[in-house]
Amino acid sequence: MNPTLRRTALAALALAATLTGCSAAADQPDNAKAAVQGPAAAGTAQNALAQLAVKGPAPMTGYDREAKFGSAWSDTTTAPGSGNSCDTRNDVLRRDLQNITYKGTSRCVVATGTLADPYTGKNIHFIRGPQSAQVQIDHAVALGASWRVGAAQLTQEQRRALGNDPLNLVAASGPANSAKSDADAASWLPPNKTFRCSYVARQVAVKAKYHLWVTKPEKAAMARILNGCPDQPLPTDTSTGVALPGLK
């Protein structure tokens, strides 16, 4: 072959190989790209998500919210903060609301306050009474959803703790909480996109703590969010926004 033609042919082959490699990388799914970038850092939600078991959803057979998770907002569970003589709902209201006033001489029962709602990004004025449901306490990992991913296998004591654990509880807009219902991350995420990293990280933390698994669609949805915030820390019982304030 003519030396000039040979050099031209080799250059064309090298260019084709380069373009093919770029195309293959561009076509990789998000999880494959993450793998190329290396494992997530220890202590991050992304790292914890990678360690959760992946299984299909279990049936809802036997699910009964009160019978299996105990009375709502019990102060007699093994969850952090329990036993402080204040029910869990008021514990979380005290933690998440600002400008709080209390009912009468109570050091526990919240009468009014303002919620910077993480789910909608709006401020909600809470007033105890007929409009109390404007602010609800949401289970980040809904109890119905938890039953489908391993809670049925927990002990009664563990399930009662799961239902009252501050790590799993967020004061939020009542309508937004109702819209979520028992959905997981594959079916519902907060409308306020700036909170989604924190929200998913919290779900991952709860699942890790209580040895719950994720379904494939749920893990994919969580991974998409955390890929945008790979340094998002995994919250713990002592994290700001999780730990309960002491009673004064």
Q: Where would I find the beta strands (DSSP E) of 119-216? A: 123-127, 135-139, 169-173
Quick: pLDDT tens for 29-42.
444 444 445 689 99
Q: How far is it between the farthest Cα atoms of the chain?
A: 98
Report the pLDDT value the prediction gives residue 128, as an integer from 0 to 100. Answer: 97
Distance CA 225, CA 218 (A): 11
Report the pLDDT value the prediction gives residue 37, as an integer from 0 to 100. Answer: 54
Please identify every stretch of the chain with a pLDDT value under 70, giving residue numbers as ranges. Answer: 1-38
Quick: pLDDT tens for 107-157.
999 999 999 999 999 999 999 999 999 999 999 999 999 999 999 999 999
Burial class (CB in 10 A: 0-12, 13-18, 19+), 40: buried
Distance CA 227, CA 222 (A): 9
The set of residues, in sequence order, having a beta carbon less than 8 Å from that of 98 and lying 6+ positions away, is: 113, 114, 115, 116
Phi-psi label, residue 99: left if phi above 0, alpha if psi -120 to 50, beta otherwise = left
Q: What angle do CA 145, 177, 116 make, to 5 degrees?
A: 130
CA 96 to chain CA centroid, Å, is: 16
